[in-house]
Amino acid sequence: MQAIFRAICALLVSSLVLTVACSSPSKPVAPPPSPYWGGDLTPVVSVKELMRDLIDPLSDNIFLSVGTRVSAAGVEEWAPKTDEDWNKVRTGAVAMAEASYLLKVPRPFAPPGDENNSKGPDAPELSPAQIKEKLEKDPVLWQAKVEALRNVGRQVLDIVERRDAGALEDAAENLDNACETCHLEFWYPGQVELMKRLGR
């Protein structure tokens, strides 16, 4: 009886193995889908051009949105009032929040042949190769600077949502700090020492 039971079990197990083996796909496992809609991201311009042609001009939508001019003509204060004014600030905020992530796409730091102001004994700026070396040595720092810029964009989006013109001055200062602290790390770090020498 026991022998018959063992034989039935062996038959069942064999059948199961055979079934699984025959139904398993022979083709390779498909790679996981890209987390991005567009697949790989391929840059068109360098970091320097991205800054000059996109991020820097649109940062002015935030920087210049509030201010005061004092002249013989009197005192002129300006801040966003109309929908058009606020939409312009919003454009700047979206650019900071989203275009900042383009800085995470590996790309040259300057166009071919552009070495920044990196020549001479007291060169004020790092060359593209020096910047690349710094980034590769500490990519987390680069990412943190990118996130700082993105955070200011998010802050300004919130200000736009609330139509809180009084908060724009501080946000503009935050934007300035986000830009400058990154530049002092990756673009012109020698400036810290220079300012000390000048007593500033």
Partner 1 sequence: MRRTLFALGVVLLAGAGQAYAHHSFAAEFDGTRPVTLTGTIVTVEWVNPHSMLWIDVRGAGGRSGQVGSERWGFELSPPNALMRRGLRRAMLQPGDRITIRAYPARDGRRFASVQALILATGRTVAMGPAGGRVSP
**Could you say whether residue 142 binds partner 1 (CB under 8 A)?**
no
Q: How far is the CB of 39 from partner 1 (least distance, A)?
A: 33
C-alpha 170/C-alpha 176 separation (Å) is 10
Task: Verify binding: residue 114, partner 1, rule CB under 8 A.
Answer: no
Cα separation, 157 vs 23, whole angstroms: 54
- Of 10 and 183, which has the nearer Cβ to partner 1? 183
84 is a site residue for partner 1 (CB under 8 A)? no
Q: Are 126 and 184 in contact (CB under 8 A)?
A: no
> Counting contacts by CB under 8 A, is residue 176 touching partner 1?
yes
Burial class (CB within 10 angstroms; exposed 0-12, middle 13-18, buried 19+) of 184: middle
Stretch 10-49: interaction string toward partner 1, x if CB under 8 A: ----------------------------------------
d(CA 156, CA 75): 26
Considering the rule CB under 8 A, would residue 71 count as an interface residue with partner 1? yes
Does the footprint of partner 1 cover residue 117 (CB under 8 A)? yes
Q: Is 83 in the site for partner 1 (CB under 8 A)?
A: no
Q: How many CB atoms lie within 10 A of CB 69?
A: 10
Under rule CB under 8 A, residue 184 binds partner 1: yes
